[in-house]
Structure 1
Amino acid sequence: MCRRYQATCSCFDGFLGSDCSGKLSVPPKDFLLPSNGLCDISSRGCLKTNILGFFDVENVTAKFEYFQVKNNVIHTTNHVKIESTTYYNYNKITAEIPKPPESLRRRRAASVNSVVYGWNISLSYDG
């Protein structure tokens, strides 16, 4: 329901967006990460990432699920972090990347078959 005389909109519970046509339960989709989500810690700290897409509201939550790749096999873990994001505008937010769990942290090795780790990221409006 929009109150045009006040230049603001108040959506019914469960709806969002400038015209209230978005559903709070439907997460942002079709978002992009710079460099296809790859970050090389030998060239920068990889402490945060921009996320580009279309965001109906300022309150976006990021869920990070930790994984490792060893010998071309992806190993998922049960290590999950929920983080709030920083909203810049309707098509850009930033999320801080959690540190990997100590027990699973990559060890430096000269081997060609080294372990690569990362986070799968999913977004939500309702947490």
Structure 2
Amino acid sequence: MYGQGPLGFEAKTVGLLLLPGALLNGALSPKIGILFDKYGPRTMIIPGTVLLIVTMIIYSTISFSIPAWAFILVYMALMLAIATIMMPSQTGALNQLPPHLYPHGTAMSNTLQPMAGALGVSTHGPVQASWSKQG
């Protein structure tokens, strides 16, 4: 949205900017799974959360003059953080359920994830608008 809105890029250009991060996420997810099996979720989630915080701080300071390569690198770091947080946290949570409840846990997780995303987006807009009026 940032690329198409304020930066004025076409959808195709934004897609190409995001492609390296998406490929990195897809390539690393199986390797993160192996590390999860070897070390457990905590070893993956804590560094991933720290990386996520750092990338969010960087994103909060992005301006219109950011070069494309810098945007791509920050997005790749974000995708690395997401890969090290999402799969271990979901797998760790589902592992706590008895086996006969796995389908229900998966259904709940798959239902709550987009609902939480929609809630975040719908509350962010009014909050951002109120901050813009104050500043």
What TM-score comes out, normalization by structure 1 length? 0.28
Higher strand share: 1
Higher helix share: 2
Larger Rg: 1
What TM-score comes out, normalization by structure 2 length? 0.26
